[in-house]
Amino acid sequence: MADEKPIREFNLSCPAPRVADDRIVLAHGGGGRLTHQLIEKIFLPAFGNPTLDQRHDGAVLPVNGSRVAFTTDSFVVRPLIFPGGNIGDLAVYGTVNDLAMCGARPLYLSAGFILEEGLEMETLRTVVESMREAAAKANVQLVTGDTKVVDKGKGDGIFVNTSGIGLIESNVKGTIGPASVQVGDAVIISGDLGRHGIAILSVREGLEFESPILSDTASVWPAVEALLNAGIEIHCLRDLTRGGLATTLNEIASDRSVCIRLEETLIPVQETVQSACEILGLDPLYVANEGRFAVFVPETQADATLDVLKKVEVSQGAVRVGKVEETPARTVVLQSRIGGNRVVDMLSGEQLPRIC
Amino acid sequence: MADEKPIREFNLSCPAPRVADDRIVLAHGGGGRLTHQLIEKIFLPAFGNPTLDQRHDGAVLPVNGSRVAFTTDSFVVRPLIFPGGNIGDLAVYGTVNDLAMCGARPLYLSAGFILEEGLEMETLRTVVESMREAAAKANVQLVTGDTKVVDKGKGDGIFVNTSGIGLIESNVKGTIGPASVQVGDAVIISGDLGRHGIAILSVREGLEFESPILSDTASVWPAVEALLNAGIEIHCLRDLTRGGLATTLNEIASDRSVCIRLEETLIPVQETVQSACEILGLDPLYVANEGRFAVFVPETQADATLDVLKKVEVSQGAVRVGKVEETPARTVVLQSRIGGNRVVDMLSGEQLPRIC
């Protein structure tokens, strides 16, 4: 019977390759389309409330008359130690930056460790020491913690969750977040793209470069603080982590029903990072960063914003890369080096698992 | 040569069994002596600050003139679903209770998921639904979250971190915490002991009872709120989780250089829990609870405290079990059923791994 079936019909009835939706796959953690589906199908229906629905990097909450920012991140990066950092400083800076993206001064962190039986104590000591240094640099206090141990083969060395509390100070005008993005806004990024993702991947793939590519992991709060102190009217801040610039901008374009138009020639990527991306078949627009953010400001404040950012070490490579337009809505468009336009879509599958 | 060595000498030179201190073992997560060593040797030297040094269930922090409590807990319980609850409601109540133990009204929670590739979506849905129900019951909002996915065999279904923010309201007198415990204080516990640990272990060991033993997982905030509203002068609150009553009281006796004297006949343990403990060779004093706490109050307020607690559902089984004395310092002493006294030491090894 099967032999009689024409090949053509077989092809037609063969479903397109798709991801099973009854089980978790790696791409559910990649920050792209499947992560969003998980949030929309499982988490928001259960927990949906006005704060969570804003889907910002952190929540801004009223606490006894103050505006407090609260955020959480679990870190599962592999390898634990990579060029330019390790899971410890990454976990501190990651959460500090999520608070900064709310316009909040980072104050306090928690640390929750899940350790795998058999982990070398020396590795833990190295990671904890990096957390200490990073917390000191970022001027946050690690005030509460928790440690669990799982059986060998049920974890992967160290997973660490950092949650953080920050304070939105009284000089912050309005709400900083995707909801404040407007047509006409300038889009500025704080520096070159792709270093964190490529630093991780080059270790995993055993790639060696003449000058090693170091992760950009760092606290971006000094840059945000400088913008606030200068009185810049910030509409939105977003760090460019999982899924990179492309995913972040797609989220905002989709939330606000706007078009974000980028110019490829303006987007800074180190030459070694660009070469590595070509070898690995990656697009730097989708590669994770851990010390970079995008800021949306009114067109009239674009130059002032750049002036302020360039004076701060972590954002000295700041550059204006695009603008917010009305149409085509829900789209990120890249005007390419050779003149054409292409749509920069949200990441569908998993580009780089366990990047943070 | 070896044959000539007298057995006696061999015995003398053979080191006592000990735990290697260069690698993580399961007992580092058990809440007993090794957990404390890890905190003292690795975490406190790196992060030590006045808040962390208090080693309470959560941190109490000044935020813009308010007293805010902040706490974190990662949950790695196995199995994910157990009689009376699952990792989801456990994670909500666990963090709510840590806030309550600071005398803080629980307000906001974060949820950080680490999912293992291949996890059934239905399991995740069940857990998330339980979190929703528990958050609603405990009157807290889940306001921010994060999801990571790790490769199959590098996790164990679901790990979840919940961090929480609470507010210490203005009717809280002084500081609630181990530092306020005084000689003469009465020690009251909020109900019977051992149900959570035995519920978990009975599933793992395939034990069946005529009436199943259900975990006691629940929010204890209503009991704490009632005490505060009644104007009880609470010296210290501690939940009786990992390591049970024995470990909690040892921590306090050691911190305050006091003796805590208990009367065995006063300590409530359900008959089925007692039988299960005997079968499993466990002491209910060391078994984890997830809806029980100890409260230290001045002797003169002991009766009033009991009256208040007994009117609240979660603490209706409250009972006075002991008192704080001066000597022998740093010791928990149990006056046993048959009249003798025995020292109740801190747990040395791992009684029940992955209980929460």
Each residue of B157-189: pLDDT tens digit?
Answer: 999 999 999 999 887 878 899 999 999 999 999
Q: What share of chain A is helix, strand, coil (3-state, %, to 5)?
A: 35, 25, 40
Alpha-carbon distances of B212 from A21, B83, B194, rounded to whole Å: 35, 8, 13
Alpha-carbon distances of B153 from A203, A260, B36, B74, B150, rounded to whole Å: 21, 40, 29, 19, 8
Alpha-carbon distances of A158 from A75, A147, A153, B52, rounded to whole Å: 9, 10, 12, 21
Residue B349 pLDDT level (bands cut at 50, 70, 90): low
Alpha-carbon distances of A321 from A32, A245, A262, rounded to whole Å: 22, 11, 6
Closest among A298, A318, A300 to A308, alpha carbons compared: A318
The answer to whether residues A148 and A115 touch, using CB atoms and an 8 Å cutoff, is: yes
Q: Looking at beta carbons, which residues of chain B come within 8 Å of A25?
A: 117-118, 149
In whole angstroms, what is the distance from residue A118 CA to residue A104 CA?
Answer: 39
Minimum-distance CB partner of B24 among A25, A76, A121: A121
Of all residues in chain B, what percent carry a pLDDT higher than 70? 94
Q: Kindly identify which residue of chain A lies nearest to residue B64, measuring between CA atoms.
A: A66
Task: Measure in Å the smallest separation between the Cα of B134 and chain A Cα atoms.
Answer: 11
Tell which B residues from 147 to 166 touch A, by Cβ distance under 8 Å: 147-151, 153-156, 159, 161, 163, 165
Instruction: Walk across the sheet containing B141-150 and list its strands.
Output: B59-63, B66-75, B158-168, B104-116, B141-150
Q: Looking at beta carbons, which residues of chain A come within 8 Å of B52?
A: 142-145
Residue B350 pLDDT exceeds 80: no
Tell which B residues from 314 to 343 touch A, by Cβ distance under 8 Å: none
Minimum-distance CB partner of B76 among A144, A148, A153: A148
Number of H helices, E strands in chain A: 11, 14
Place of tokens 């609240």: B312
In whole angstroms, what is the distance from residue B165 CA to residue A179 CA?
Answer: 25
Q: Kindly identify which residue of chain B lies nearest to residue A111, measuring between CA atoms.
A: B72
Cα maximum dimension of chain A: 76
Query: Beta-strand (E) ranges in chain B?
Result: 59-63, 66-75, 81-82, 85-86, 104-116, 141-150, 158-168, 186-189, 236-239, 259-263, 293-297, 319-325, 331-335, 341-343
Which residues belong to CATH 3.30.1330.10 in chain A? 57-168
The secondary structure of residue A244, as a DSSP letter, is: H
pLDDT score recorded for residue A274: 95
Tell which B residues from 62 to 101 touch A, by Cβ distance under 8 Å: 63-66, 68, 70-76
- pLDDT tens digit sequence for B99-152: 999 999 999 999 999 999 999 999 999 999 999 999 999 999 999 999 999 999
- Max mean pLDDT range (B32-36, B190-194, B241-245, B340-344): B190-194
Is there a contact between A115 and B29 if contact means CB atoms under 8 Å apart?
yes
- pLDDT tens digit sequence for B64-111: 889 999 999 999 999 999 999 999 999 999 999 999 999 999 999 999
Peptide bond just before B298 cis, omega within 30 deg: no
Report the residue of A21, A42, A55, A149 to disrupt the B interface, i.e. the one with the largest count of B CBs within 10 Å.
Answer: A149
Q: Kindly identify which residue of chain B lies nearest to residue A116, measuring between CA atoms.
A: B24
Which residues belong to CATH 3.90.650.10 in chain A? 178-343
pLDDT score recorded for residue A10: 34
Minimum-distance CB partner of B151 among A26, A112, A117: A26
Average pLDDT, chain B: 91
pLDDT score recorded for residue B48: 80
- pLDDT tens digit sequence for B188-204: 999 999 999 999 999 99
Number of C-beta neighbours around residue A213 at 10 A: 24
Tell which A residues from 115 to 144 touch B, by Cβ distance under 8 Å: 115-122, 124-125, 128-129, 131-132, 135, 141-144
pLDDT score recorded for residue B321: 98
By three-state DSSP, how is residue A205 classified? Answer: helix
Minimum-distance CB partner of B51 among A52, A143, A354: A143
The secondary structure of residue B179, as a DSSP letter, is: G
Q: What is the ipTM of this complex?
A: 0.92
Is there a contact between A120 and B23 if contact means CB atoms under 8 Å apart?
yes
State the DSSP H helix or E strand holding residue B309, giving kind and residue range, or none if neither.
helix B302-310
In whole angstroms, what is the distance from residue B26 CA to residue A150 CA?
Answer: 7
Compute mean pLDDT per 10 residues along chain A, 356 residues long, and list them.
Answer: 36 43 89 88 88 81 92 97 97 98 96 97 96 97 95 97 94 88 98 97 88 95 97 96 94 96 96 93 94 98 98 98 97 92 83 83
Q: Looking at beta carbons, which residues of chain B come within 8 Å of A66?
A: 63-66
pLDDT score recorded for residue B55: 72
Domain topology for A178-343: Phosphoribosyl-aminoimidazole Synthetase; Chain A, domain 2 (3.90.650)
| Helix A302-310 with A221-229: angle, nearest 10 deg | 130
Paired strand residues for B165: B70, B108
Number of C-beta neighbours around residue A329 at 10 A: 12
Alpha-carbon distances of A140 from A17, A53, A110, A131, A176, rounded to whole Å: 47, 28, 10, 11, 21
Q: Looking at beta carbons, which residues of chain A come within 8 Å of B74?
A: 112-114, 146, 148, 161
Architecture of domain B57-168: 2-Layer Sandwich (3.30)
Closest among B252, B247, B229 to B177, alpha carbons compared: B252
In whole angstroms, what is the distance from residue A64 CA to residue A74 CA?
Answer: 28
Instruction: Walk across the sheet containing B236-239 and list its strands.
Output: B236-239, B293-297, B186-189, B319-325, B259-263, B331-335, B341-343
